[in-house]
């Protein structure tokens, strides 16, 4: 998830009366993560974190974040297609 507007994110946090550390504690992330989202150092975050931020800032997800289709981490799989794995199965 990518913040739509970093300044709006910061403004909402301040309006709700949180400093970065307080919001981070509520969202169970680091203060550095909140800072990085607000400054643009971190371009994207997980959907779970975006949901938590929106919950505490009393905003809908689509007001503060946009889903980037190419930002999903591909599922990590085992080596089922590897030669070594096939060799071990044949033994």
pLDDT value for 74: 38
pLDDT value for 85: 44
Cβ neighbours of residue 68 closer than 8 Å, sequence gap 6 or more: 1, 2, 44
pLDDT value for 68: 79
Local confidence pLDDT in tens for the 91 residues of the chain: 999 999 999 999 999 999 999 999 999 999 999 999 999 999 999 999 999 999 999 999 999 999 876 545 434 344 454 454 444 455 4
Q: Is the pTM of this model over 0.75?
A: no
Domains of the chain and any CATH numbers: 2-71 (1.10.260.40)
């Amino acid at each position: 998830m990518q913040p739509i507007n970093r300044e709006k994110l910061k403004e909402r946090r301040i309006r709700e009366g949180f400093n970065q550390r307080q919001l981070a504690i509520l969202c169970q992330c680091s203060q550095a993560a909140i800072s990085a989202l607000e400054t643009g150092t971190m371009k994207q975050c997980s959907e779970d974190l975006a949901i938590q931020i929106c919950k505490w800032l009393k905003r809908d997800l689509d007001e503060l974040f946009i889903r980037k289709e190419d930002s999903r981490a591909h599922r990590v799989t085992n080596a089922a297609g590897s030669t070594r794995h096939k060799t071990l199965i044949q033994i």
